[in-house]
Homo-oligomer: A and B are copies of this chain.
C-alpha cells in the first residue's frame, strides 16, 4: 500500500484515484486490506468532519435516480461537492456498475465534484451496511460537503441507512391510500422529510393532495426531541422538471442547522456509532457461529423444531449454545 500519510493527503484533496484505492481497501475481505483501511480511517478521522449525511429511500420506479441527478446537480452548481453511495442488499454488481451509474445519472457522473459509488456486493446486508458506513466516513473526511446514501428499502436496509445518516428522506409517488405498499412498517416514522415526486403534468394535483395528507400524518408523529416545529415535513417535487428540489435542500439545511445548534446532531451520531458497535460485535459473533457447517446444521435443525412447535425459541437457543459451547469432542469454534 501507498504510504498512509500520502494517501491521506491525496484523499483530502479529493483525488479520485486515492479515493477509489481507499474504497477498494474498505470493501476488501482480505484481512491486511481491512487493517490498512482501519489505519487510514483512523488517520483521516483526526481532522474534524463537517459533511452532511443524507439518507434517501424509495421503492423502484418512484424516480430515485432522477431525483439524485437533479438534487446532486443543484448542489454542484451551488459550489458544493457530493458523494453518492448506495446500500442495495440485492446488488450483485461488481465491475459493470460504472456504466449503470452513467446511465442512471448521466450529468452527475461526469462532474469532477461528484463521486458516485455503487453498493458494495457482499453476502450479508450487515456487511454491505458496514462498508457503506466506512465509505461515507471516508468521503466525509475527504471533504465532501454532502454524502447522499440511497437505498431501495429491501429488508432492513432502510433502517440501516437511517442509522448512518443525519437527515433521512423518504421518496414516494403520488397515490391514494395504498402508498406504503412496499415501504416497510416503521420507516414512515423514521423520515424527516417525505418527498412526493412526480408533481408534474396530470399527477400534479394528486401529488399536492398526497403531500398535504402526509403533512397532517407526520404532524401527529412529531418527536419534539429530535425535530423542531414543522418537521417531519412533506413536500412535493418534480424530479424530471427539477422543480421543488431547492426547497427540499433548504428544508434539509434548516433541519441540519437546528440539530447542530441543539446538540441533537452530535448526539445522534454518537448513538449511531455505539449502536453500530453493538451490531458489529453481534454480526461477527454470529458469523463465526454460522461459518461452521456443524453449527449451521444444528441451527437449521432448531429452526425446524420451532416451526413444528416442538420447542420454544428460547429453549432452541439454549440447546444451540449448549452444543456449540459444550467444549466436548468437536471443540469450540471460537
> Which A positions have Cβ atoms within 8 angstroms of B?
34, 38, 41-42, 45, 130, 133-134, 137, 177-181, 185-190, 213-214, 216-217, 219-226, 270, 273-274, 276-277, 280-286, 288-289, 302-303, 306-307, 309-318, 320-321, 324-325, 327, 332, 334
Of the candidates A187, A190, A221, the one having the most CB atoms from chain B within 10 angstroms of its own CB is: A221
Question: A216 to B219, Cβ gap below 8 A?
Answer: no
- Which residues of chain B are within 8 angstroms of A185 by Cβ–Cβ distance? 186, 189-190, 221, 223, 226
Q: How far apart are the CA atoms of A91 and B108 in the complex, in Å?
A: 55
Known: A38-B315, A281-B289. 5 other contacts (CB 8 A): A38-B311, A42-B311, A274-B303, A277-B302, A324-B334
Interface residues of chain A: helix, strand, loop or mixed (majority): helix
Q: How far apart are the CA atoms of A10 and B322 in the complex, in Å?
A: 31
Q: How far apart are the CA atoms of A318 and B29 in the complex, in Å?
A: 13
Q: How far apart are the CA atoms of A103 and B44 in the complex, in Å?
A: 60
Question: B213 to A314, Cβ gap below 8 A?
Answer: no
Q: Contacting A314 at CB < 8 Å: which of B134, B274, B310? A: B134
Given contacts A185-B189, A219-B177, A286-B282, contact A277 B307 (CB under 8 A): no
Given contacts A311-B42, A313-B280, A314-B276, contact A321 B220 (CB under 8 A): no
- Which residues of chain B are within 8 angstroms of A225 by Cβ–Cβ distance? 181
Q: How far apart are the CA atoms of A315 and B281 in the complex, in Å?
A: 10
Question: B281 to A286, Cβ gap below 8 A?
Answer: yes
- Which residues of chain B are within 8 angstroms of A177 by Cβ–Cβ distance? 219-220, 222
Question: B178 to A186, Cβ gap below 8 A?
Answer: no
- Which residues of chain B are within 8 angstroms of A188 by Cβ–Cβ distance? 189, 220-221
- Which residues of chain B are within 8 angstroms of A327 by Cβ–Cβ distance? 334
Question: A277 to B289, Cβ gap below 8 A?
Answer: no
Given contacts A42-B311, A310-B42, contact A318 B223 (CB under 8 A): no
Given contacts A217-B221, A280-B314, contact A285 B274 (CB under 8 A): no
- Which residues of chain B are within 8 angstroms of A325 by Cβ–Cβ distance? 288, 334
Q: Contacting A317 at CB < 8 Å: which of B190, B221, B284? A: B284
Question: B224 to A181, Cβ gap below 8 A?
Answer: yes
Q: Contacting A274 at CB < 8 Å: which of B222, B224, B226, B313? A: B313
Question: A315 to B41, Cβ gap below 8 A?
Answer: yes
Q: How far apart are the CA atoms of A213 and B218 in the complex, in Å?
A: 11
- Which residues of chain B are within 8 angstroms of A180 by Cβ–Cβ distance? 220-223
- Which residues of chain B are within 8 angstroms of A273 by Cβ–Cβ distance? 306-307, 313
27 A-B pairs in the complex with CB atoms less than 8 angstroms apart: A42-B310, A42-B312, A42-B315, A45-B309, A45-B310, A133-B314, A134-B314, A177-B219, A177-B222, A178-B222, A180-B223, A181-B223, A181-B224, A185-B186, A185-B189, A185-B223, A186-B186, A214-B220, A216-B217, A274-B306, A276-B314, A277-B302, A281-B317, A285-B321, A324-B334, A325-B334, A332-B332
